[in-house]
Amino acid sequence: MNPIPAKACGPGRPKDLEKRAAILEAAKDLFLEHGFDGTSMDAIATRAGVSKLTVYSHFTDKECLFTEAVREKCAEQMPTALFDVDVSGSLRDQLIAIAHAFFSLVTSDASISLHRLLTTGAGGSTKLAQKFWEAGPQALQCAFAGFLEREVAAGQLQIADVRRAAEQFFCLIKGDLHARQLCGCANASFDKAEVDAHLAATVDMFMSAYAPPRQA
């Protein structure tokens, strides 16, 4: 259930990691500002301070650049190490850490803006929305499902369908707080105590639902 490693999107090896990072940062900003169709590779090159040829030396096309930008954003806040089983710590603490990282990711200004962009159709085609899903939510669910599989093997959880359990976990984490934010409600802002309480209650419910049977 581990996610498939990302394939390189540009021909050859990246020549300059700093330029690659600048291109990705420029792309993320411009996609949010102008949508996918309204953003050109020329504009990305200009914003990044590089030539158009340099952009294409790192990324084969605009779709590939969009996919890599989404993947990098997820990796920034939810690195793969987050899903490594910590045998020295408690399962609850690790689930709380994963929950906080995911909630911070989906409630960030960039994530909310991108979600609205895609759902209104301003982001581009259905194919683009599918690429976003595969590079972001689906990849994270796959990584978390792998984590759950390892915990099941260790006897910490009892789950018949880890894929479905992973989907449930992330949907529960979003909860009412994320829904209010997406809708732009006036009361969409929330303090740390409210978030902490929501995430702790969600993790406790998840663990209760999938706790292994107690020995008599």
In eight-state DSSP terms, residue 190 is -
* Across 54-68, 109-123, 162-176, 180-194, least confident range: 109-123
SS3 at position 136 = coil
Q: Given this model, what pLDDT does residue 19 score?
A: 92
Q: Given this model, what pLDDT does residue 114 score?
A: 80
What is the mean predicted confidence (pLDDT) over 28-43? 87
Give the model's confidence band at 43: pLDDT under 50 very low, under 70 low, under 90 confident, else very high: very high
**Percent of the chain with pLDDT strictly greater than 70:** 88
Give the model's confidence band at 1: pLDDT under 50 very low, under 70 low, under 90 confident, else very high: very low
In eight-state DSSP terms, residue 154 is T
pLDDT top residue among 150 and 75:
150
pLDDT mean across residues, the chain? 85
Contacts of 30 (CB under 8 A, 6+ apart): 39, 43, 44, 47
* Across 76-90, 112-126, 173-187, least confident range: 112-126
Q: Does the structure show a pLDDT above 90 at 118?
A: no
pTM of the model as a whole: 0.79
Range 130-135, long-range pairs (CB < 8 A, 24+ positions): 131/63, 131/66, 131/67, 131/70, 132/66, 132/67, 132/70, 134/67, 135/67, 135/68, 135/70, 135/71, 135/74
Contacts of 144 (CB under 8 A, 6+ apart): 83, 98, 166, 169, 170
Q: Given this model, what pLDDT does residue 3 score?
A: 45
* 3-state SS, one letter per residue, for 64-121: HHHHHHHHHHHHHHCCHHHHCCCCCCCHHHHHHHHHHHHHHHHCCHHHHHHHHHHHCC
Condensed to tens digits (0 to 9), the pLDDT of residues 49-64 reads 999 999 999 999 988 9
Q: Given this model, what pLDDT does residue 7 score?
A: 44
Number of alpha helices (DSSP H) and beta strands (DSSP E) in the chain: 10, 0
Give the model's confidence band at 4: pLDDT under 50 very low, under 70 low, under 90 confident, else very high: very low
Q: Given this model, what pLDDT does residue 113 score?
A: 81
Domain 8-66 class, CATH top level: mainly alpha
Domains of the chain, residue spans: 8-66, 78-209
Q: Does the structure show a pLDDT above 60 at 151?
A: yes
Cα–Cα distance for residue pair 160/128, rounded to 1 Å: 32
CATH fold label, 78-209: Tetracycline Repressor; domain 2 (1.10.357)
**Is residue 123 within 8 Å of residue 54, measured between CB atoms?**
no
